[in-house]
């Protein structure tokens, strides 16, 4: 059975944070991260809106980047004691992802983390609380997706949770929050959004419901990412919406091996942590060239929709890769892992195991072309040196 699931309501526009004042309920928990939402005054505004709506409100602060199982369990215990009927998460991907997992353990205290990490195995939620998400970055789109990434630090593994029960009820896209993003974060999260849309469009699980969202998101990233990075507030707002469209697409169409590669190399090298969006930006053109053998016509459709100048399928695929290369250059993102600064010896040492792990990543299953560990190693090698992909 195919399914297409989105939040019930998406509020968008400047100062839509105030929408929180219209929610109906008795008690709300606000989940936030390390302090930027507090510093910029958004946490206080969120709390006063909820109080204005007549809700007793408590704040769970201090969700770390790459939230841990322990933080999730602490938050769930906090919720079990306070019994909120609204969970409101505000900030970057981490506090929203953590709040989604807290929500599951608050509603279903009897389930274990091992049960929840099995894809599409989450029990019915919403018997105790509904969920509102307010993103401050423009990339992960966790405010509209069925996913959450939680890290088990004891095992050193990042677990992606996936279930449509985890799709928030309300997403609030207030571009004023996104104005707080520093330049590099704007570049990386924007390229993550582009990768979401491109991978969703060529995914084996794409559908007539996800295709238009992906195409429009790609066109908007091409139009608005660079001006947004340069500080144009109007473009910053459009990027906040574009990444959300991309999220609506990939939450339902899934992703591909660009994400498999980024997931398994982000923290694999002592010579450099590669931020998620930066890794995607580096890998995407190489993956397009690899996938073009089976998905060339789909990439050509993207290039045509974006108005890139070429006619043949091959020409259109090259134009798409060229456009991404151009964007990376303009955003000061490296084109290869070597340029990023990874040590060659360490790269070669880790290559066989990283390639194997990337093939086994959850995102590989929906990639349009099957890949072996040996091919994955060749793809990584091309991305290291900037070599051609012709296999």
Q: Does 163 participate in binding Fe ion (rule CB under 5 A)?
A: no
Closest contact distance (angstroms) between CB of 2 and Fe ion is: 23
Rounded CA separation 137/134 (Å) = 9
In the block, tokens 């969920």 appear at 131
How do strand 147-152 and strand 157-162 relate by DSSP bridges?
Answer: antiparallel
Total residues binding Fe ion (CB under 5 A): 1
Smallest gap from Cβ 38 to Fe ion, in A, equals: 26
Measured from the CB atom, the residue of 143 and 192 that comes closer to Fe ion is 192
Nearer to Fe ion, 46 or 284 (CB): 284
Inter-CA distances, 140 with 128, 134, 276, 311, Å = 26, 12, 10, 33
Distance separating alpha carbons of residues 74 and 102, to the nearest angstrom: 8
Torsion of CA 379, 282, 149, 185, to 10 degrees: 170
CB of 224 to Fe ion, least distance (A): 18
- In the complex, the smallest distance separating the C-beta of residue 93 from Fe ion, rounded to whole angstroms, is 9
Contact 279/261 with Cβ under 8 angstroms?
yes
Determine the interface stretch with Fe ion among 73-81, 179-187, 188-196, 234-242 (rule: CB under 5 A).
188-196
Laid out side by side, the sheet with 86-91 consists of 9-12, 170-173, 130-135, 86-91, 27-31, 56-60
- The one-character DSSP state at 19 is G
Nearer to Fe ion, 163 or 192 (CB): 192
Contact segment (CB under 5 A) with Fe ion among 21-29, 185-193, 219-227, 363-371 equals 185-193
Taking contact as CB under 5 A, which single stretch among the options 33-41, 99-107, 118-126, 186-194 is the one that binds Fe ion? Answer: 186-194
Dist. CA 99–CA 181, nearest whole Å: 21
- Determine contact, residues 359/260, Cβ cutoff 8 Å: yes
CB of 247 to Fe ion, least distance (A): 9
Q: Pick between residue 266 and residue 322 the one whose CB is nearest to Fe ion.
A: 266
Nearer to Fe ion among residue 190 and residue 296 (C-beta): 190
Give me the least distance between CB of 192 and Fe ion, in Å please. 4
User: Which is nearer to Fe ion, 19 or 189 (by Cβ)?
Assistant: 189
Exactly one of 107, 143, 163, 192 binds Fe ion (CB under 5 A); that residue is 192
Least CB distance to Fe ion at residue 286 (A): 17
Mask for 304-323, x = binds Fe ion (CB under 5 A): --------------------
Site membership for Fe ion, residue 66 (CB under 5 A): no
What is the nearest approach in angstroms of Fe ion to the Cβ of residue 196?
6
Q: If you write DSSP's letter for every residue of 119-161 in order, what string do you get?
A: TT-PPP--SS-EEEEEESSSS--TTT-SEEEEEETTTTEEEEE
Q: For binding to Fe ion (CB under 5 A), which residues are involved?
A: 192
């Amino acid at each position: 059975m195919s399914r297409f699931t989105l939040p019930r309501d998406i509020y968008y526009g400047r100062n839509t944070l105030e929408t929180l004042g219209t929610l109906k309920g008795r008690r709300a928990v606000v989940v936030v991260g390390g302090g930027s939402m507090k510093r910029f005054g958004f946490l206080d505004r969120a709390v006063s809106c909820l109080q204005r709506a007549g809700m007793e409100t408590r704040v769970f602060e201090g969700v770390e980047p790459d939230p841990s199982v322990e933080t999730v369990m602490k938050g769930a215990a906090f919720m079990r004691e306070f019994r909120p009927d609204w969970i409101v998460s505000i900030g970057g991907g981490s506090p929203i992802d953590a709040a989604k997992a807290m929500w599951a353990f608050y509603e279903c205290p009897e389930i274990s983390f091992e049960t929840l990490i099995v894809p599409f195995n989450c029990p019915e939620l919403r018997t105790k609380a509904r969920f509102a998400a307010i993103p401050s970055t423009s990339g992960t789109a966790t405010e509209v997706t069925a996913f959450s990434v939680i890290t088990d630090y004891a095992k050193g593994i990042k677990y992606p949770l996936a279930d449509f029960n985890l799709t928030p009820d309300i997403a609030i896209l207030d571009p004023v929050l996104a104005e707080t993003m520093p330049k590099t974060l704007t570049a990386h999260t924007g390229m993550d959004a582009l990768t979401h849309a491109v991978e969703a469009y060529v995914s084996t699980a794409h559908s007539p419901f996800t295709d238009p969202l992906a195409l429009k998101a790609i066109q908007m990233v091409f139009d608005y990412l660079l001006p947004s990075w340069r500080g144009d507030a109007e473009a910053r707002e459009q990027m906040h919406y574009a990444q959300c469209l991309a999220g609506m697409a990939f939450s339902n169409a899934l992703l591909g091996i660009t994400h498999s590669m980024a997931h398994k190399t982000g923290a694999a090298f002592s010579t450099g942590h590669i931020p998620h969006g930066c890794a995607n930006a580096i890998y995407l053109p190489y993956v397009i060239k690899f996938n073009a053998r089976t998905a060339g016509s789909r990439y050509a459709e993207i290039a045509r929709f974006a108005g890139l100048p070429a006619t043949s399928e091959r020409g259109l695929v090259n134009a798409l890769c060229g456009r991404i290369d151009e964007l990376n250059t303009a955003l000061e993102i490296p084109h290869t892992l070597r340029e990023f600064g990874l040590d060659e010896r360490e790269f070669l040492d880790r290559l066989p195991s990283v390639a194997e792990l990337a093939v086994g990543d959850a995102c590989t299953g929906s990639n349009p072309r099957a890949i072996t560990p040996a091919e994955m190693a060749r793809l990584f090698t091309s991305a290291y040196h900037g070599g051609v992909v012709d296999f």
